[in-house]
Amino acid sequence: MRLRKLSVTLLTTVMSSSLMSAEISDSDLVQRLTDEPNAEALQAVFAETPDNILEVLAFLLKSEMVDPQEAITEALSVAPEKVSEIVELAREAGISNEIITTSALLAGLDPTVVSEATAAGIQTAATSPAIAPPTAPAIGSNGGGGTAVVSPN
């Protein structure tokens, strides 16, 4: 039932846009998205609505039923020329840089184009304290009996 709501809402969003392509039929979009939205269904929707990719992606990123990485990957695959807008939209939606970078890689794009360089490195890096290396073992115990010898063994 939630999937049908997602499909109908997505269809309403896409159909209400003034840039909507006349080639897309209502039943076709509903039929593609009533099943679980997989990569093929997402790619088909993005391919059929090239002028509305950002609107469709914004809606999909708000949905709990769609994997954000899959949605971003398909959007980048269909419209690589809109990479900066797609990445900005994903960041505004609260998607992590790791997911955005992985999506770019999966879409065949250069990850340096989408990654945010920081002076402190990756934001998701572990913050646990560094473990000290073990101490070196004691060498010799002066068991040879001499005190002023080259080798204390």
pLDDT surpasses 50 at 82: yes
pLDDT digits (tens, 9 = 90+) for 21-60: 434 444 455 455 555 667 777 777 877 877 888 888 888 8
Radius of gyration of the chain, Cα coordinates, nearest whole angstrom: 27
Percent of the chain topping pLDDT 70: 56
Q: Binning pLDDT at 50, 70 and 90, where does residue 1 land?
A: very low
> What is residue 104's predicted lDDT score, i.e. its pLDDT?
92
The domain segmentation of the chain, as residue ranges, is 26-113
Length of the chain: 153
- Contacts of residue 104, Cβ cutoff 8 Å, sequence gap at least 6: 76, 83, 87, 110, 111, 113, 114, 115
Q: What 3-state class would DSSP assign to 134?
A: coil
- Contacts of residue 13, Cβ cutoff 8 Å, sequence gap at least 6: 55, 56, 59
Question: Is 61:68 a contact under the CB 8 Å cutoff?
Answer: yes
pLDDT surpasses 70 at 93: yes
Among 26, 16, 9, which Cα is nearest to 1's? Answer: 9
Axis-axis angle for helices 39-48, 53-62 (nearest 10): 150
pTM over 0.75: no
Residue entry with tokens 């890689």:
105
Residue entry with tokens 């990719």:
53
How many other C-beta atoms are found inside a 10 Å radius of the C-beta of residue 130?
6
